[in-house]
Structure 1
Amino acid sequence: MKLVRFGPIGREKPGLVDGSGTIRDLSAHIDDIDGTNLGKDSLERLRSLDVSTLPEVDASTRLGACVGNIGKFLCIGLNYSDHAAESNLQIPEHPILFMKATSAVVGPNDTVEIPRGSKATDWEVELGVVIGTKAKYVKKEDALSHVAGYCVINDVSERDYQTRLSGQWTKGKSCDTFGPTGPWLVTADEIPDPQSLDLYLDVNGKRMQTGTTAKMIFDVGTIIEHLSSLMTLHPGDVITTGTPPGVGMGIKPEPVYLKPGDTMELGISGLGVQRQNVVQG
């Protein structure tokens, strides 16, 4: 299934995308696409619905982030060997973890704001993993059974804030609008191998990032095993798993960063496409 949230900011409703690409309203069956409705039983109940009886949603309706009420937004850094190389950083021994404030989360096509004083706002296409069932001390071989589904995430980043404001990377990752998420939450049964997905990101129509999740240093199962040994993962938690090469910071001879008026388009095979216009905050 492809699950969505649609409607005005703060008043999104749950929906799903039918076989023809039409959004159908799930409001009569669940309150939201969030942790309370992402368990195996809940998803099976949604699969059993007669989609043709669900109300259609106008195609022009805004899409919100595909997961509501996110508990933890966990981010893995330097998880592609070729991205680590372009950043002139060593491949990590263990997954690098930082947090993104949930207040950064926006819809997949919402405007991205460059923060006041920013000099280095950058783009990062990433595979998002959404937890469906509680995970604690999970082994790698069982890890994917705890995944509700996958989505596209743009881990927008302010590099000066990230590296020069002292402290953790979180400062450069949590600005308002820095977490476009969606368009859909594609349930795990439709993505049998999360390590065989192609990713891309364009800025103003120019291809900047091209990658494959096969190049991850730590695969999704390893990431869940590691994180669940440190903290309990709860339904509705989101993990974004790192970005392939081609970020603005890595461009030679001089980095290139986002400016007002730019447009980003990014996507992952099977998970849909995002588009964002960039404005000054």
Structure 2
Amino acid sequence: MSANQNINRRHALKLSLGAAAISAVPATSQAHGTQIKTPFVVDQTYIPIAGSVEEFPVRRIYCIGRNYAAHAREMGSDPTREPPFFFQKPTDAIQFVAPNKIVDHPYPTLTKNYHYEVELVAALGKGGKNIPVEKALEHVFGYALGLDMTRRDLQRFMGDQKKPWEIGKSFDHSAPIGPIFPVSQIGHFRSGKIALSVNGVTKQSADLNQMIWSVAEQISKLSEANELFPGDIIYSGTPENVGPVVRGDVIRCTIDRLPDLVVKIV
């Protein structure tokens, strides 16, 4: 089989799975001029780029917490501009959702209170450390529509015990996402409607200009704590009225200028 045939076969497999665009790297690779052999194959996560045959390689998934004032209040926090806080999800939490399709999303284990959170996602094409706010948007490759799915009961239980609540946020399929639209095609998102409905009933509705910390500010603040790299993506926070879903529910996410993202809980 030729290299091109192998790539096409892997791409077809990814599309048939209907999940994250994930493919395996070779068991041998070149690093610093030497060939490295590994005992097993490690998967790499990719997100399709709209209008292109290229795919975006995901390095890290960052998420900001409580970035809309009304959502901060409903979660029991003071929405003043205190320093932002971030958490991460594993890259294989990505579940790619193609536009104009309803994709099955599995109800996870260990929870009885599974919540939706619609978010704008910024994908970085350039890295850096201590990035000035006024330069931050130069680092954005593109944007996508995403869901930060949350096992809320586990998150709250761990929080009440003063323990890390990673188990409530960082699990399989917890980061559904649509294709990435390059800035060159779609520009930047400083305002615009963001909304979510369940079974046709609107649950979340706000404007992106209501973020406490803008995308540029998030990039700048994150780069103070960690050096950022191409392939990092940032889930930029959710509006108020997060809530539970059950099997059979259909979630539709919308952001002005991006195609809808639709999943069915199964």
Letter in 1 for 2:262: R
- Residue 95 (str. 1) matches residue 67 (str. 2): no
Q: What is the rounded CA distance, in whole Å, between the counterparts of 2:89 and 2:184 in structure 1?
A: 27
Q: What is the rounded CA distance, in whole Å, between the counterparts of 2:77 and 2:197 in structure 1?
A: 24
User: Which of 234, 243, 249 lines up with 1:239 in the alignment?
Assistant: 234
Alpha carbons of structure 1 residues 225 and 271: separation in structure 2 relative to 1, 3 Å: same
Residue number in structure 1 paired with 2:55:
33
Q: What is the rounded CA distance, in whole Å, between the counterparts of 1:103 and 1:110 in structure 2?
A: 17
Deviation for aligned residue 1:86: 2.1
Asked if the contact 2:47–2:96 (Cα under 8 Å) also holds between the matched residues in 1, the reply is no
Letter in 1 for 2:260: V
Alpha carbons of structure 1 residues 268 and 169: separation in structure 2 relative to 1, 3 Å: farther
Deviation for aligned residue 1:15: 6.0
Deviation for aligned residue 1:124: 0.5
Any residues of structure 2 matched to 1:217-228 within 5 Å, and which? 217-228=212-223
Letter in 2 for 1:276: V
Q: What is the rounded CA distance, in whole Å, between the counterparts of 2:48 and 2:249 in structure 1?
A: 30
Task: Please provide the CA RMSD for this pair.
Answer: 2.0
Deviation for aligned residue 1:266: 0.5
User: Which of 174, 177, 186 lines up with 1:178 in the alignment?
Assistant: 174
- Residue 213 (str. 1) matches residue 208 (str. 2): yes
Query: How many residues are treated as equivalent by the alignment?
Result: 220
Q: Deviations over 1:26-54 (max 9, x none)?
A: 2xxxxx412xxxxxxxxxxxxxxxxxxxx
Any residues of structure 2 matched to 1:262-281 within 5 Å, and which? 262-279=249-266
TM-score normalised by structure 1 residue count = 0.73
Q: What is the rounded CA distance, in whole Å, between the counterparts of 1:236 and 1:111 in structure 2?
A: 26
Residue number in structure 2 paired with 1:38:
none
Q: What is the rounded CA distance, in whole Å, between the counterparts of 1:170 and 1:117 in structure 2?
A: 13
Letter in 1 for 2:255: I
Deviation for aligned residue 1:130: 0.3
Residue number in structure 2 paired with 1:169:
165
Letter in 1 for 2:165: W
Q: What is the rounded CA distance, in whole Å, between the counterparts of 2:188 and 2:47 in structure 1?
A: 29
User: Which of 258, 269, 280 lines up with 2:245 in the alignment?
Assistant: 258
Alpha carbons of structure 1 residues 13 and 269: separation in structure 2 relative to 1, 3 Å: closer
Deviation for aligned residue 1:188: 1.5
Residue number in structure 1 paired with 2:191:
196
Q: What is the rounded CA distance, in whole Å, between the counterparts of 1:13 and 1:126 in structure 2?
A: 16
Residue number in structure 1 paired with 2:126:
133
Q: What is the rounded CA distance, in whole Å, between the counterparts of 1:258 and 1:208 in structure 2?
A: 11
Q: What is the rounded CA distance, in whole Å, between the counterparts of 1:200 and 1:134 in structure 2?
A: 30
Q: Which runs of 5+ in 2 are unaligned?
A: 1-10, 24-45
Which one has the bigger strand percentage? 2
Alpha carbons of structure 1 residues 158 and 247: separation in structure 2 relative to 1, 3 Å: same
Letter in 1 for 2:155: Q
Deviation for aligned residue 1:191: 4.1
Asked if the contact 2:118–2:148 (Cα under 8 Å) also holds between the matched residues in 1, the reply is yes
3-state secondary structure, aligned to 1:275: strand
- Residue 78 (str. 1) matches residue 86 (str. 2): no
Asked if the contact 1:130–1:147 (Cα under 8 Å) also holds between the matched residues in 2, the reply is yes
Structure 1 runs of 4+ with >6 Å offset: none
Letter in 1 for 2:61: F
- Residue 8 (str. 1) matches residue 16 (str. 2): yes
TM-score normalised by structure 2 residue count = 0.77
Residue number in structure 1 paired with 2:113:
120
Letter in 1 for 2:58: I
Q: What is the rounded CA distance, in whole Å, between the counterparts of 1:275 and 1:131 in structure 2?
A: 24
Deviation for aligned residue 1:245: 1.1
Alpha carbons of structure 1 residues 110 and 176: separation in structure 2 relative to 1, 3 Å: farther
